[in-house]
Amino acid sequence: MRVVYSYNKRGYEALAWGREIRAASCERHQFIPFNHGEFVEPIDCDDSVRLDQLYQADAPSLRKLQSALTELLTETGANGLLVTNAPPYHPDFLRGLRVYKALYSTDDPGATYQRTIPYLHAYDHVFHCAPGYSRDMDLGEKLRYAGAAHVDFLPLGVFDFEFDPARGEHDLFGQERDIDVVYVGSFFRQKLEVLAHLRRRLGRRLRIHGYFRLKHNLYLNVRYGFGTWIRPVSFEERVRLYQRSAIGFNVHWNRFGFGNQRLYHLPANGVLQISDCPTFHDRVFAPGEEILGFETPERLVELIDRYLRNPDERARIAAQAYRRTMAKYRIGDVTRAAADLMASGAA
């Protein structure tokens, strides 16, 4: 297939996405990156109702976006469109595109009714990176129940700029890891109890970084007595930070939301991963052999203490997760898998 891959990124990340999506091309498929973030703000695509209002008002930003995409599809002779990151295309616009259209849903289950289900009728295929949805059904079942024609689980994977592909396994696991525990992520209220518990128990052995605004830092220090200021790190700094870290823990949106980017960043950088949502671990990694699970903050602390005292076992598990990530979850592999599924669906 010849696929236009439409995404929403800015700055360094946008350049990296474009470069690596194009490099995923192979004998079977060609990928043409298209950054819809250059035309519309993420807030305008965050909710299907908001997007509908802009479309009905004939917003200039949407008109420019639609015109640019239509021209690109025509110029390249593409027969596939893969859309992710706050999809900006109104179903009525997509209806007129004579290509095989796939939506890559990456914000479920929290945004399922916000910007996934409202668009199912406009796409021929839907990919989802979170296997779970609710206590009643998994996400694949939910999407089919809501009317999706073709549904497949597609893990997010890791881009090359999110680790160091020039370093081999021996080099990566042979270096000193002087940071005991690391967490890099944005502010989400539902994650604060876990962060606060670990901060109290681990103190300065825990390094936390991420996008926390002034009000978030003030809240953490007043409400939880953090005693520190959480600052963001660049993409390059995050790689260096992970490669110095022995253990990284993962916290998701809720107990059904397993499947975020951190899930792949940690093993790609040789970090032992301890994650919540243990029910779904086997969809991506081998539980106990490539990833460890916790359901309570107390259990998380127990596992951290155990594996800090057992560096050989920690390295063994981390290395097995690293090997699987390199074999299955690099972005080129994931992107080509998406195109294979699209081609099968279009046949």
pLDDT by residue for the chain (347 residues), tens only, comes to 999 999 999 999 999 999 999 999 999 999 999 999 999 998 888 999 999 999 999 999 999 999 999 999 999 999 999 999 889 999 999 999 999 999 999 988 989 999 999 999 999 999 999 999 999 999 999 999 999 999 999 999 999 999 999 999 999 999 999 999 999 998 887 788 898 899 999 998 999 999 888 998 898 888 888 888 899 999 999 999 999 999 999 999 888 999 999 999 999 999 999 999 999 999 999 999 999 999 999 999 999 999 999 999 999 999 999 999 999 999 999 999 999 999 999 98
Verify that 165 and 275 share a domain, yes or no: yes
CB 147 within 8 A of CB 124: no
Residues forming a β-bridge with 206: 181
CATH code, 281: 3.40.50.2000
Verify that 188 and 245 share a domain, yes or no: yes
Residues forming a β-bridge with 128: 105, 153
Verify that 178 and 298 share a domain, yes or no: yes
CA distances, 162 to each of 20, 26, 213, 237 (Å)? 11, 22, 23, 10
Verify that 117 and 180 share a domain, yes or no: no
Verify that 175 and 152 share a domain, yes or no: no
Verify that 131 and 250 share a domain, yes or no: no
CATH code, 113: 3.40.50
Whole-number Å distance between alpha carbons of 333 and 77: 23
How many domains does the chain divide into? Answer: 2
Task: Indicate the pairing of strand 179-184 with strand 245-250.
Answer: parallel
Write out the residue range of the structural domain in which residue 302 sits.
160-328
Verify that 51 and 189 share a domain, yes or no: no
Verify that 169 and 312 share a domain, yes or no: yes
Verify that 28 and 91 share a domain, yes or no: yes
Sequence-separated (6 or more) residues with CB below 8 Å from residue 168: none
Verify that 9 and 128 share a domain, yes or no: yes
Verify that 145 and 193 share a domain, yes or no: no
Verify that 189 and 289 share a domain, yes or no: yes
Can you give the pTM of this predicted structure?
A: 0.94
